[in-house]
Copies of this chain bind each other. A is one copy, B any other.
Amino acid sequence: MSGRGHEEGLKDLTLLGNQNTKYAFNYAPEVLEAVDNLHSNRDYFVKFNCPEFTSLCPLTNQPDFATMYISYIPDKKIVESKSLKLYLFSFRNHGDFHEDCVNIIMNDLIKLLDCRYIEVWGKFTPRGGISIDPWCNYGRPGTKYEEMANYRLMNHDLNPEKIDNR
């Protein structure tokens, strides 16, 4: 089989293809792993669609549910998707406001990847007839990606989706 080989950042992966996966259900940013970006000569986007996010309300302990959309421009590293899965699962028994969850996820990925640009959008299911969709983004300070972050903030969600709670 041709393609990406073990010499290209795969040899240090501990999770992908490992059968003894442990699922931590308390906030565990340490499970995140990265592999080499083979195309760092170029700006390009990687988007993760994550419809299986769940956390707890910090005041009532009631479960919350969301779809997380994570999109970023890598620099030297790309995040390995199985480790991202485990990281997101680790919010399962973690209590925080919706606004906090998206900011924390973005902060942890910036720390892991030192990526050029990143944005995170959480779309939660409603409580009391209202749903909350926080969105945050980041561009590496002092670079063109910081301007890009400002530009994308300014253009965020100009065509909001229709929501009827059904």
Binding site for B on A (CB under 8 A): 1-5, 10, 13, 16-23, 25-27, 35, 37-39, 42-52, 54-56, 58-63, 65, 67, 69, 71, 73-74, 78, 81-82, 84-85, 88-89, 92-97, 99-100, 102-103, 121, 123, 125-138, 148, 150-166
Return chain B residues, CB-CB under 8 Å to A88.
130
With A63-B92, A82-B128, A159-B159 known as contacts, the answer to whether A4 contacts B100 (CB < 8 A) is yes
Compute how far the CA of A156 lies from the CA of B117 in the bound complex, rounded to whole angstroms. Answer: 12
Q: Which of B5, B54, B78, B132 contacts A99 (CB 8 A)?
A: B78
Compute how far the CA of A165 lies from the CA of B128 in the bound complex, rounded to whole angstroms. Answer: 12
**Which 5 interchain pairs have the tightest Cβ spacing?**
A19-B19, A44-B136, A3-B96, A49-B163, A3-B95
Residue of B nearest to A154 (CB): B148
Closest CB of chain B to A79's CB: distance in Å? 10
Compute how far the CA of A155 lies from the CA of B152 in the bound complex, rounded to whole angstroms. Answer: 7
Q: Can you give 13 A-B contacts (C-beta < 8 A)?
A: A2-B27, A5-B58, A18-B19, A38-B100, A44-B134, A44-B137, A45-B156, A46-B135, A51-B129, A51-B165, A78-B97, A123-B166, A162-B166
Q: Which of B56, B63, B133, B158 contacts A49 (CB 8 A)?
A: B133
Query: Which of A44, A84, A85 neighbours the largest number of chain B CB atoms within 10 Å of its CB?
Result: A44
